[in-house]
A = this chain, B = another copy of it.
Amino acid sequence: MTIKAVVWGENVHEQTNKVVADIYPDGMHGAIAAALNADKGITATTATLQEPEHGLTGERLADTDVLLWWGHAAHGDVSDEVVERVAEAVWSGMGLILLHSAHFAKPFKRLMGTPCNLTWREAGERERLWVTTRGHPIAKGLPDHFELENEEMYGEPFGVPEPLETVFVSWFQGGEVFRSGLTYRRGLGNIFYFRPGHETYPTYHDANVQTVLKNAVHWAHNEQRLTGDVNAAPNVPVDAALEPIEERGPRLHQDGEEGYR
């Protein structure tokens, strides 16, 4: 059984900017999905902003192992309902990989609980990614560092929570650094933020970047998936307690009552 990946693309600049369209004639999502499909263990399809429900119906998410997300110009056009649906899918075990400008995508901000802000400069400068957690599954097959000759700069401080692990840190020609690969877990879902990928450069055609993405899909895949209400907060009745106890003192709730939310 292969891992079912869905590459979500905003698909705006591919339609409106000739530079981007020339680099990614099948869309950035198309290029990324093609790269993932070169891995025999992954079956990748795509979804875009313009599709009904942005291509992310509840049914589709329930059948998705790992969702990759690229967005930039149209973060605000993503419906809050879909964002909440994505968050719930992550909590139930779907992996989520956020790419580049998706640091400001609604699902990432929703799951981090922070501004996710940074500094930036669009100058086509050199970026060099260093592996900081050698041997991490996401860094498998990579050298200790690799370069992207032209990239947008993102600089620290990066307004995210302390990660579980810092996998990559980037060096920029103009003098900045950035924590470029960060892992998180939210509920049963594994989350990976990966920095490179400005749309005016051919980043997703880079072999090392493709290796990271394939590794990240394998890493983010959780074989377990919670079914049922991911927000459930079940009452455990006194007579079902694992150790015999007797009820004592006053209480607010009546038997069988739901808790407050």
Contacts and interface: CB of A to CB of B under 8 A. Distances in A.
A133 B157 contact: yes
A239 B50 CA distance: 37
A123 B241 contact: yes
A164 interface: yes
A134 B188 contact: yes
A101 B260 CA distance: 9
A82 B47 CA distance: 35
Given A200-B251, A231-B117, A238-B121, A135 B187 contact: yes
A242 B123 CA distance: 13
B159 A162 contact: no
Interface stretch (A1-9, A60-68, A148-156): A148-156
A156 B130 contact: yes
Interface residues of A, number: 99
A184 B199 contact: no
A175 B166 contact: no
B120 A91 contact: no
Interface in A126-140: 128, 130-135, 137, 140
Contact of A161 (B104, B184, B243, B249): B184
Contacts of A117: 231-233
Interface in A106-134: 110-115, 117-125, 128, 130-134
Given A131-B156, A164-B162, A243-B173, A75 B261 contact: yes
A54 interface: no
Contacts of A174: 236, 238, 241-243, 245
Given A91-B159, A144-B156, A119 B236 contact: yes
A84 B166 CA distance: 27
A52 interface: no
Contacts of A259: 104, 120
B248 A150 contact: yes
Contact of A132 (B91, B158, B175, B186): B158
Question: Which 3 A-B pairs rank lowest in CB-CB distance, beginning with the nearest?
Answer: A135-B188, A175-B242, A124-B249
Given A118-B233, A122-B253, A123-B247, 11 more contacts: A19-B250, A91-B115, A93-B135, A114-B186, A115-B187, A124-B248, A132-B158, A135-B189, A161-B184, A171-B176, A200-B249
